[in-house]
Amino acid sequence: GRGPDHPVISAAPLRKPFSKVTKEDLSFFRNLLPGRTITDPDLIRSSNIDWLRTVHGNSEILLRPKTTEEVSEILRHCNKRNLAVCPQGGNTGLVGGSVPVFDEIILSTSLMNQVITFDNISGILTCQAGCVLEKLSHFLEERDFIMPLDLGAKGSCQIGGNVSTNAGGLRLLRYGSLRGTVLGLEVVLADGRVLNCLATLRKDNTGYDLKQLFIGAEGTLGVITAVSILCPHKPKSLNVAFLGCSSFQHLLETFQCCRGMLGEILSAFEFLDASCMKLLEKHLKLSNPITESPFYIVLETAGSNAAHDEEKLHKFLEAVMTSSLVIDGTALWSLRERVTEALTHDGYTYKYDISLPVEKIYDLVQDMRRHLGDKAKNVVGYGHVGDGNLHLNITSPSKDPRLLAAIEPYVYEWTSQWKGSISAEHGLGLKKRNYIHYSKHSEVVALMGNIKALLDPKGILNPYKTLPDNMHR
């Protein structure tokens, strides 16, 4: 059954009966992690608040392990003592999953930032979970490779956090999801056992693919300590084009034409609407480089022969005959990548990350505008057209329960009616956990609960996240 059969509890969760950190616990941690057991409130503050500044935890202790063995010792202790733990990477998550809700111990992977191996024949990189995505990108580019994923948060997000949220991003169209490019994981389970699934093989059909359980599990099943990932060769030729479109229908036709004409060199097809452009201009002082249009496309080609790629791209642009600009990518990409940042300056932002059949994605934005009328400040749509993934964002001068009540569950019902997903790539975290039934059948959610109980019987790992509150097990 879907949504309507399951009354949604949207209230804040109640603290579960976990232990509180004692002096003995503190001396255990200080002994294990000298100088890396942080209790100074000034140093913990930013780890208690999410990137969007909408969720505030009250943790009094932040642990910064450097090795898998240290993570294992921490979890073994916490499990024995019934202490709750919130794993944290770069803290750029958008669903309140990366910060504690109450006094959970924050386990940060920031010091686990070493590359372990890189094989420049296979392109397989093995590294610790706390490596920052952009640092890995630089490391690889020096060796003529790239990471198979890229996202606006690259300067802060960590590969362990990317894998834990199964982040999509701007290159998914070309290189596929992390479920395909992640070849192996090392994970520490709630009781401290180290699960070594750190394979570096393209093919391995020896039974269940357990690493998949931890991809997108948002830290509820184990702490990822190392990742091996298949990296593509660095393309020799890159082009970025910025196009205007007169309607969403026109945008879809352009997408179809683009797939046909650019074929294997198309590496990204992203969109933003005119409302996003206004926010970029107003809050970030970026300027629109082309004629004003209702919709804009950022498309990228990546190939091995500059002359060939440029010829293809120009033929395509001639065929679609729309206002367009092809220049050095960085400036054009920032118009797409910085929409999230522009929104933070527009007020409180209600964020929805929806998968739908691609021809439906903008109907939701238009319907939402009609539905909300002047209750909302701005209703904007952007996202990953190539993946059928809409980012619907609604702003308001401040947090507004009346506006929220008009958006939810309306947006989830709309999505469920078209068999979409209520979280395409950001996860459920704290904010969306109780809406899981709009996208998953109850038998499936129940089995998720069984798996959680098997791997983390005391429920110490990232409690109050991902799984709904009314989980009976």
Among 152, 232, 289, 449, binds ligand 2HG (CB under 6 A): 152
Here the tokens at position 83 are: 């202490």
Least distance from ligand 2HG to the Cβ atom of residue 351, Å:
5
Least distance from ligand 2HG to the Cβ atom of residue 135, Å:
20
Pick the closer one to ligand FAD by CB: 100 or 235: 100
Compute the distance between CA of residue 74 and CA of residue 66 in angstroms, rounded to an integer.
Answer: 12
Choose the one of ligand 2HG, ligand FAD, none that binds residue 393, judging by a C-beta under 5 to 8 angstroms depending on kind. ligand 2HG
Least distance from ligand FAD to the Cβ atom of residue 376, Å:
21
Nearest CA-CA partner of 253 in 155, 352, 321, 327: 321
**Phi-psi map region of 227: left, alpha, beta (phi>0 left; psi -120 to 50 alpha):** beta
Strand ranges in 179-262 using DSSP code E only, listed in sequence order: 182-188, 194-197, 223-230, 237-245
- In sequence order, what are the residues at sequence separation of 6 or more whose Cβ sits closer than 8 angstroms to the Cβ of residue 375? 396, 400, 402, 403, 406
Q: Is 68 in the site for ligand 2HG (CB under 6 A)?
A: no
> Contact 463/101 with Cβ under 8 angstroms?
yes
Compute the distance between CA of residue 289 and CA of residue 280 in angstroms, rounded to an integer.
Answer: 12
Choose the one of ligand FAD, ligand 2HG, none that binds residue 432, judging by a C-beta under 5 to 8 angstroms depending on kind. none
Least distance from ligand 2HG to the Cβ atom of residue 368, Å:
14
Here the tokens at position 20 are: 């509180």
Nearest CA-CA partner of 352 in 415, 430, 399: 415
Pick the closer one to ligand FAD by CB: 153 or 277: 153
Pick the closer one to ligand FAD by CB: 165 or 301: 165
**Phi-psi map region of 381: left, alpha, beta (phi>0 left; psi -120 to 50 alpha):** beta
Burial of 298 (0-12, 13-18, 19+ CB in 10 A): buried
Q: Is 48 in the site for ligand 2HG (CB under 6 A)?
A: no
Nearest CA-CA partner of 395 in 294, 292, 293, 283: 283
Pick the closer one to ligand FAD by CB: 92 or 275: 92
Q: Looking only at residues 349 through 378 of this chain, which bind ligand 2HG when binding is defined by CB under 6 A?
A: 351, 353
> Contact 21/61 with Cβ under 8 angstroms?
yes
Pick the closer one to ligand 2HG by CB: 28 or 348: 348
Least distance from ligand FAD to the Cβ atom of residue 85, Å:
9
Pick the closer one to ligand FAD by CB: 222 or 244: 222
Q: Is 171 in the site for ligand 2HG (CB under 6 A)?
A: no
Pick the closer one to ligand 2HG by CB: 281 or 469: 281
Q: Is 391 in the site for ligand 2HG (CB under 6 A)?
A: yes
Least distance from ligand FAD to the Cβ atom of residue 7, Å:
25
- In sequence order, what are the residues at sequence separation of 6 or more whose Cβ sits closer than 8 angstroms to the Cβ of residue 348? 54, 395, 396, 397, 398, 399, 400
Choose the one of ligand 2HG, ligand FAD, none that binds residue 223, judging by a C-beta under 5 to 8 angstroms depending on kind. ligand FAD
Q: Is 92 in the site for ligand 2HG (CB under 6 A)?
A: no
Pick the closer one to ligand FAD by CB: 149 or 313: 149
Here the tokens at position 415 are: 């999505």
Pick the closer one to ligand FAD by CB: 300 or 425: 425
Q: Is 340 in the site for ligand 2HG (CB under 6 A)?
A: yes
Taking CA atoms, 448 is separated from 100, 464, 470, in Å, by: 22, 14, 13
Q: Give the interface with ligand FAD as residue ranges (CB under 6 A).
A: 51, 86-94, 97-98, 109, 129, 151-153, 157-158, 160-162, 164-165, 167-169, 218-219, 223-224, 340, 425-426, 429, 462, 465
Q: Which residues bind ligand 2HG (CB under 6 A)?
A: 94, 152, 340, 351, 353, 391, 393
